[in-house]
Amino acid sequence: HYALQAAIAGQGLVLASNILVSQSVASGVLAPYKSEVQVDGAGYSALCVPGRERHPPVRAFFQWLQDEALLSGLTPRS
């Protein structure tokens, strides 16, 4: 939960289980960044505080996540 609290505090992007973030997304505290990475049996979303998605560190981290997913054979979806 520390990573979620850091994201809510505006510290950056968090990669978290959709189950863990559903309430934060529903209330508008966090917003999906762009894509989801689907892993068999689980869903994960990249999330950040609304308005932070254009910040260079957030974009760089998200690009790294996408690159790692592709290297692992996963297909990021939007």
- State the pLDDT at residue 15: 80
- State the pLDDT at residue 36: 56
Position 35, amino acid: S
CB atoms within 10 A of CB 12: 17
- CA angle, corner 43, sides to 42 and 49, nearest 5? 145
The residue-averaged pLDDT of 57-74 equals 81
User: What confidence tens digit (pLDDT) does each residue in 5-64 have?
Assistant: 999 998 888 888 777 888 888 899 988 876 555 555 566 778 788 888 888 988 898 888
* Domain assignment of residue 38, given as a range: 2-77
Number of domains in the chain: 1
Positive/negative CA dihedral, 70, 76, 36, 54? positive
Q: What is the pTM of this model?
A: 0.50
- State the pLDDT at residue 27: 93
77 Cβ contact list (under 8 Å, min separation 6)? 35, 36, 37, 38
Beta-ladder partners of 46 = 15
